[in-house]
Amino acid sequence: MAILTIIKEPNELLHKKPMPVIQFDKTLEDFAYDMLETTKAENGSGLASIQVIDDSRFKFDSIPDGFRAQPSLIVNLEASEPIFAVNPEILEHSEEVFSSTEGCLSVNEIVTVKRFKNIVVKYQDLSGKEYIKEYKNCQKNYEGLVFQHEIDHLSGITIWTKAQEGLNPMQRLLFLKKVAQMNKK
């Protein structure tokens, strides 16, 4: 297993999407375990494939605009055993949201974002078996919270960009200045 290089904000690579996984093989499994090792080494709760430098083990015939040569995969360490979620998506969510104060391996600051209270997630494991799981009260159920955070990454959304939702231009400017100062440290 290897420690992968994590991409930090601001970086346009974090705002692209990964390619859907159609081949479930040893290459995917090895990459998933490298992601697990990286997450543990960084004391993280989860990691999305889009957060690390493109892995040369994966080859795609063509990559559409807005996508990267990375498989759609996340690691969630908030379960009793690590979850490797391939091609994950939120099928349903509650209208009710809550404020969540979060950190991120790709963002050097803690920010507050809105998250859904309840979600239903669909994903495949490393062998391709499909799962559908319901997570209630994600404010206290961190497994569901990590799914929301990491699935955002796979949509090209970081907590850095999510925190800017609803800010007026002056608030956004102040936020960006604060981030720029933090990145100089």
Would you list the domain boundaries of the chain?
Answer: 12-94+117-158
pTM for the model stands at 0.90
One of 9, 102, 143, 150 is an active-site residue; which one? 150
DSSP β-bridge partners for residue 92? 120
**Residue 150 designated active-site:** yes
pLDDT band at 180; cut points 50, 70, 90 = low
Distance of CA 72 to the CA centre of its chain: 10
Give the pLDDT confidence of 140-168 residue by residue, as tens digits. Answer: 999 999 999 999 999 999 998 888 777 77
State yes or no: pLDDT of 185 exceeds 80. no
Backbone dihedral region for residue 156 (phi beyond 0: left; psi -120 to 50: alpha; all else: beta): left
How far is the C-alpha of 161 from the C-alpha of 40, rounded, in Å?
A: 25
Quick one: DSSP state of residue 124? E
45 vs 171, higher pLDDT: 45
The alpha carbons of the chain give a radius of gyration, in whole angstroms, of 16
**pLDDT tens digit string along 104-127?**
999 988 888 999 999 999 999 999
Q: In 10 A of CB 185, how many CB atoms?
A: 5
Tell which phi-psi region holds residue 10, choosing left (phi > 0), alpha (psi between -120 and 50) or beta: beta
- Superfamily (CATH H level) for 12-94+117-158: Peptide deformylase (3.90.45.10)
Provide the pLDDT confidence category of residue 182 given band limits of 50, 70 and 90.
low
Q: What is the pLDDT of residue 77?
A: 94
